[in-house]
């Protein structure tokens, strides 16, 4: 069975990083070299036949295609050094990662630095996937504004709203809105961060978007150019381009030819995950693959998305295998295609059929689990996840074990936390504890209700107050017998109410503080959020965080 889940949590202090394994190992931490060696042994044990090839043959061919195409893609916008000995290049370790192309936080960007550092350590190649097949919804970026007393996130539109699409289909709708995003967001940020990276970097995003005709690619390429200036030597490739590689199409065809096994393995892995980690709800961490029926028979959902250029909304994909030698795929709405995909059909026909879909602008794109499954089985010696991906990719492990009968290669984990450097603007922000003050105030109010005598002090008590306190304690010391229990409770409560009158001013003052303390707690959460986009930070802060000092370990 797949290995046990490794639990990771984001590091709390600003500037802290988590790398598992560390770039440079220390006793008991493991190493990237050992992980590469172990993964190569695990992959060698996967002796499956994919069409008319053994898996290891498909792996070698896919690695060649991936490196060549990624180098060509990356070379369109930044310098790429291709080794003269291609065979040696392919044989060296490939360290991979991937993420959506939006404005993510520094802890996500750290994965790109991690794959570079790991690749240097093992003398290999770092390759980042731009996951442009994911959903690109409303393009608005929350910008922090305010003070420690009152702060909030204000959404700044990056582009005009349009129908939900995948990143690979999303061009600019409102050119002026997109062009001016850096200026508008920068102006809001200025009271907190006078010189964020955003202002100087955004014109490069606009330029790369104009050339690539896609917002996601524009953002990703502009970020990748910045990484080159920092000395990171990584290749990049959009997932949409990876899905067009003939070798990847062979593997996709094999998975689709085993659609029912894939459907069952996926749902079984989800059930095992929910059972092992006591997850309630059929929709968590993701819904089961469904089944549907019509006049054609049973349709089983498979973990892909489908859309067309005319209707770019991502829809679920269902497969029908009732006709021998034919695989029908449908979104159960408007799209239906028939492909010559089955276990006994030549893989060359699989590739031809999937290529024709692309030519006719019908997109078949994998969901996240299938994307990482392809990456980990066919290409990467080590795939580097963030904490969220690592938590859910144990499902991928179980799918691979069910489909191929062996454990898949293991993955690494990289994450970090960087918070806006606001101590100069707001001295004492880091040491302030409004949540603690709020909890103390609420505790004091509760204590005033049930133990008011503790807050009246001993000096200045008049005789009537002393009598009420004495009466209360007489009732507290009285055993709660069946005949006295109700009266005892009533008398203690009445004493508390009489004592409360004497401290009404003190209680009112605390109650007046509660709203301001709640606002301060919310403001601190905003100003110290770890989810602030990396380009909102000063460049020096992000650069020093990103470069890992070339020797950082796990924290």
pLDDT digits (tens, 9 = 90+) for 524-546: 999 999 999 999 999 999 999 99
pLDDT in tens, the chain (555 residues): 344 456 789 999 999 999 999 998 877 778 999 999 999 999 988 888 998 899 999 999 999 999 999 999 999 999 998 888 999 999 999 999 999 999 999 999 999 999 999 999 999 999 999 999 999 988 999 999 999 999 999 999 999 988 889 999 999 999 999 999 999 999 999 999 999 999 999 999 999 999 999 999 999 999 999 999 999 999 999 999 999 999 999 999 999 999 999 999 999 999 999 999 889 888 889 999 999 999 889 999 999 999 998 899 999 999 999 999 999 999 999 999 999 999 999 999 999 999 999 999 999 999 999 999 999 999 999 999 999 898 888 899 999 999 998 888 999 999 999 999 999 999 999 899 999 999 999 999 999 999 988 888 765 568 888 888 899 999 999 998 988 899 999 999 999 999 888 888 888 999 999 999 999 999 999 999 999 999 999 999 999 999 864 434 444
Q: Name which of 427, 211, 163 is nearest 315 in CA terms.
A: 163
Burial class (CB in 10 A: 0-12, 13-18, 19+), 494: middle
Could you tell me which residues come within 8 angstroms of residue 529 by beta carbon, excluding any fewer than 6 positions away?
144, 419
Q: Name which of 10, 5, 4 is nearest 414 in CA terms.
A: 10
Give dist(CA 244, CA 374) in Å, integer: 13
pTM, to two decimals: 0.90
SS3 152: strand
Beta-sheet pairing, 291-294 with 297-308: antiparallel
Give dist(CA 253, CA 463) in Å, integer: 90
Domain ranges of the chain: 249-364, 434-527
Contact status, residue 196 vs residue 187, Cβ threshold 8 Å: no
Could you tell me which residues come within 8 angstroms of residue 284 by beta carbon, excluding any fewer than 6 positions away?
274
pLDDT at 5: 54
State what percent of residues in the chain have pLDDT above 90: 79
pLDDT per residue over 126-167, tens digit each? 999 999 999 998 899 999 999 999 999 999 999 998 888 999
């Amino acid at each position: 069975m797949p290995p046990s889940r490794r639990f990771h949590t984001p590091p709390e202090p600003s500037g802290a990083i988590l790398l598992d394994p560390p770039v440079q190992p220390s006793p008991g931490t493991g190493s990237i070299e050992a992980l590469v060696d172990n993964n190569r042994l695990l992959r060698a044990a996967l002796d499956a036949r994919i069409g008319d090839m053994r898996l290891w043959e498909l792996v070698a061919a896919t690695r060649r295609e991936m490196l060549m195409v990624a180098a060509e893609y990356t070379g369109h916008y930044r310098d790429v050094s291709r080794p003269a000995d291609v065979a040696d290049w392919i044989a060296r370790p490939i360290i991979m990662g991937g993420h959506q192309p939006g404005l993510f936080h520094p802890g996500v960007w750290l994965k790109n630095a991690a794959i570079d550092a790991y690749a240097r350590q093992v003398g290999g190649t770092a390759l980042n996937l731009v996951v442009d097949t994911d959903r690109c919804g409303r393009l608005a970026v929350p910008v922090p504004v305010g003070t420690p007393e009152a702060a909030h996130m204000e959404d700044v539109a990056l582009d005009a709203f349009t129908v939900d699409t995948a990143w690979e289909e999303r061009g600019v709708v409102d050119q002026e809105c997109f062009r001016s995003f850096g200026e508008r967001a920068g102006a809001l940020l200025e009271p907190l961060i006078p010189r964020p990276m955003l202002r100087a970097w955004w014109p490069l995003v606009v330029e790369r978007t104009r050339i690539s005709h896609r917002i996601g690619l524009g953002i990703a390429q502009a970020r990748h150019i910045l990484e080159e200036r920092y000395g990171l030597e990584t290749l990049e490739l959009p997932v949409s381009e990876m899905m067009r590689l003939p070798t990847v199409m062979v593997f996709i065809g094999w998975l689709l030819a085993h659609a029912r096994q894939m459907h069952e393995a996926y749902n079984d892995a989800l059930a095992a995950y929910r059972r092992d980690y006591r997850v309630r709800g059929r929709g968590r961490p993701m819904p089961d693959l469904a089944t549907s029926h019509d006049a054609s028979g049973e349709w089983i959902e498979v973990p892909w998305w489908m859309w067309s250029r005319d209707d770019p909304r991502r829809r679920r994909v269902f497969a029908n295998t009732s006709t021998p030698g034919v695989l029908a795929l449908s979104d159960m709405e408007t799209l239906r295609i028939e492909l010559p995909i089955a276990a006994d059909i030549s893989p060359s026909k699989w590739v031809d059929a999937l290529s024709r879909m692309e030519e006719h602008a019908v997109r078949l794109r994998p969901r996240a689990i299938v994307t990482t499954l392809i990456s980990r089985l066919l290409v990467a010696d080590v795939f580097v996840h963030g904490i969220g991906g690592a938590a859910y990719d144990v499902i991928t492990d179980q799918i691979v074990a069910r489909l191929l009968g062996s454990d898949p290669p293991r993955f690494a984990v990289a994450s970090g936390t960087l918070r806006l450097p606001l101590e100069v603007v707001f001295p004492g922000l880091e040491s302030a504890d409004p949540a603690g003050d709020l909890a103390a105030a609420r505790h004091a109010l509760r204590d005033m209700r049930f133990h008011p005598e503790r807050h009246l002090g001993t000096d200045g008590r008049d005789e009537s107050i002393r009598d009420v306190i004495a009466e209360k304690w007489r009732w507290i010391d009285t055993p709660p017998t069946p005949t006295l229990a109700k009266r005892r409770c009533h008398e203690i409560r009445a004493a508390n109410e009489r004592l409360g009158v004497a401290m009404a001013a003190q209680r009112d003052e605390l109650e007046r503080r509660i709203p301001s303390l709640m606002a301060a707690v919310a403001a601190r959460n905003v100003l110290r959020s770890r989810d602030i986009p990396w380009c909102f930070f000063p460049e020096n802060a992000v650069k020093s965080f990103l470069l890992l000092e070339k020797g950082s370990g796990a924290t």
